[in-house]
Amino acid sequence: MAKAKKSIFFCQNCGHEESKWLGQCPVCKEWNTFAEEKAASVKQGAAKAVREAELVSLSCVSTDEDERIRTGIEELDRVLGGGIVRGSLVLVGGDPGIGKSTLLLQVCQRLADLDKKILYISGEESLRQIKLRANRMGDFKDTLSLLCETNLDIIRGVIKQYKPEMAVIDSIQTMYSEEVGSAPGSVSQVRESTNILLQLAKGLDISIFIVGHVTKEGMVAGPRVLEHMVDTVLYFEGDRHASYRLLRGVKNRFGSTNEIGVFEMQKSGLAEVENPSEFMLSGKPEHASGSVVACAMEGTRPMLMEIQALVCRSNFGMPRRTAAGLDYNRVNLLMAVLEKRLGLPLSNYDAYVNIAGGIRLSEPAADLGIVMAIVSSYKNRPVSDDMIVFGEVGLSGEIRAVTMPEQRVAEAKKLGFRTCIIPEVSCKAVGEISGMEVIGVKSVNQAIHFLIS
Ligand SMILES: Nc1ncnc2c1ncn2[C@@H]1O[C@H](COP(=O)(O)OP(=O)(O)OP(=O)(O)O)[C@@H](O)[C@H]1O
Ligand SMILES: [Mg+2]
């Protein structure tokens, strides 16, 4: 009697595999994420195909000079570590509609201009839709070819025959291989599809960009499963309502993951933002209370941003607190420090703290900025417009050192700020800077004294 094909259960959130259905995933602790998929069958005679492995010593491996292809989009090249590495597999993840397809089509445009053979494979959009997007971006050379296909076995054939220098797969969740029985987007399908692409990239020395969707609902396998398999993982993020977008490297086998790229979504596609600080501070109100400029590091790049706070008397016993772009608990903690160390009766006040421009910030160096904004709003006294602050605030109200103070002060100087309030321990590293008054502070109390003009 023929045996029924075995089933495996996959957590659609993290890709964990079990032989039976479970209500809660033991790894990621999500509920109701298990889905049944057919076990991939091992091909008959697969063992015969095994060839003998060849050993190579490291010194015999040659690396070409032009190993990296520079796209000319500086913000992207920096995040990739200096250009696209030949034969690498890059995953670009991001929320729906953030601009993943736009970015990759722009990369294709730039590389096609350099007379490289490029293949753009879309499983989501028709040729007409791609053309509509391309019309926004200007002219394309004929070295860019398009293909609308979701069957990876066909795509594999096309890539092997056409041998492009770079290929884009938009998106991995729409691709399927006939060898796997489950539906496109399921964990085993996504895993197998990526495996096929990995072999193509390494075998033929083609750089392949994969688009991956991130959804909160468990049904579509998130790109987390893929992150281990690919060489580079980039996340495209940003506030849907703001026009700028951040491209962040989460994993990079060929470069630092500290870098970010800043783009702005415009009518003609994504434009690079060369000076993000200026961009973030545009529209800052003058002489307004509760508005403070702080400096945070995004990787190795300092970025000035405006922290805003609004503190007003609460009408109920439970004061309301909101934090947009900041960690809510951190804001509560800093308010408790202010209450205890400065004696401000903040438990009777509502507080709304916000980072202008919709950016998210998790660096402790912003603490002093948050504290200053809250005190400035509470006392209704504006902070001097040519001043920036940074420093971590400890529970006893002390100001602690932060990383790279020199770069932060240099960035402030570049943008015309005259005064910097920084942790006293960092003063030595910064040294004397002409045209800039650097004030070191030890405690929140001392900082408040300097700040409120
Ligand atoms: N004419 C236009 N002017 C300005 N921005 C536009 C214009 N047309 C589209 N956009 C922007 O481009 C975004 C869509 O970009 P794109 O299709 O590249 O996103 P995506 O990340 O690939 O989305 P999906 O996940 O649906 O594939 C829209 O959300 C919108 O912000
Ligand atoms: Mg898209």
How far separated are the first and last CA of the chain, in Å rounded? Answer: 88
Beta strands in 326-391 (DSSP E): 349-355, 387-389
Pocket test for ligand 1, best of 101, 170, 173 (most atoms within 8 A of CB): 101
pLDDT at residue 213, as a whole number: 84
Q: Is 448 helix (H, G, I), strand (E, B) or coil?
A: helix
Give the pLDDT confidence of 205-244 residue by residue, as tens digits.
999 999 988 765 434 455 567 788 899 999 888 777 777 8
Judge if the beta carbon of residue 97 lies within 6 A of ligand 1.
yes
Judge if the beta carbon of residue 99 lies within 6 A of ligand 1.
yes
Q: State how far Cα 323 lies from the chain centre.
A: 20
Beta strands across the sheet bearing 118-122: 144-148, 118-122, 166-170, 207-213, 89-94, 232-237, 244-252, 260-266, 269-272
- Give mean pLDDT, residues 79-93: 91
pTM: 0.79
**Residue predicted with more confidence, 93 or 64:** 93
Which residue type sits at 379?
A: K
**Residue predicted with more confidence, 16 or 92:** 92
**Could you give the CA distance from residue 164 to residue 180 in angstroms, rounded to a whole number?**
26
Query: In 3D, which of 309, 285, 443 has the Cα closest to residue 373?
Result: 309
Nearest-CA residue for ligand 1 atom 25 is: 96
- CA 416 to ligand 2 center in whole angstroms: 40
How many C-beta atoms lie closer than 10 Å to residue 9's C-beta?
A: 19
Pocket test for ligand 1, best of 92, 95, 102 (most atoms within 8 A of CB): 102
Which residue carries 């091909």 as its tokens? Answer: 43
| pLDDT above 70: residue 65 | no
- CA 171 to ligand 2 center in whole angstroms: 7
| pLDDT above 80: residue 12 | no
**Residue predicted with more confidence, 450 or 212:** 212
Give the pLDDT confidence of 417-449 residue by residue, as tens digits.
999 999 999 998 888 888 899 999 999 999 988
Judge if the beta carbon of residue 130 lies within 6 A of ligand 1.
no
**Could you give the CA distance from residue 229 to residue 32 in angstroms, rounded to a whole number?**
26
Lowest mean pLDDT among 225-239, 330-344, 362-376, 396-410: 225-239
Lowest mean pLDDT among 52-66, 114-128, 270-284: 52-66
Measured CA to CA in angstroms, residue 288 lies from 47, 58, 292, 374 at distances of 73, 62, 9, 12
- CA 85 to ligand 1 center in whole angstroms: 27
**CATH code, 280-452:** 3.30.230.10
**CATH code, 67-274:** 3.40.50.300
Query: In 3D, which of 37, 43, 41 has the Cα closest to residue 19?
Result: 37
Instruction: Quote helix, strand, coil % in the chain, to nearest 5.
Output: 30, 30, 40
**Which residues are close to ligand 2, an ion, with C-beta < 5 A?**
101
**Could you give the CA distance from residue 275 to residue 93 in angstroms, rounded to a whole number?**
24
**Could you give the CA distance from residue 56 to residue 372 in angstroms, rounded to a whole number?**
60
**Could you give the CA distance from residue 330 to residue 323 in angstroms, rounded to a whole number?**
9
Q: Is 211 helix (H, G, I), strand (E, B) or coil?
A: strand
- Please give the DSSP secondary-structure letter assigned to residue 48: G
- CA 257 to ligand 2 center in whole angstroms: 24
Measured CA to CA in angstroms, residue 358 lies from 122, 246, 305, 373 at distances of 31, 11, 10, 17
pLDDT at residue 218, as a whole number: 35
Encoding tokens for residue 174? 């729409």
- CA 227 to ligand 2 center in whole angstroms: 19
- Give mean pLDDT, residues 30-52: 68
- Please give the DSSP secondary-structure letter assigned to residue 398: B
Judge if the beta carbon of residue 317 lies within 6 A of ligand 1.
no
- CA 130 to ligand 2 center in whole angstroms: 10
Query: In 3D, which of 245, 249, 253, 213 has the Cα closest to residue 229?
Result: 253
Nearest-CA residue for ligand 1 atom 30 is: 97
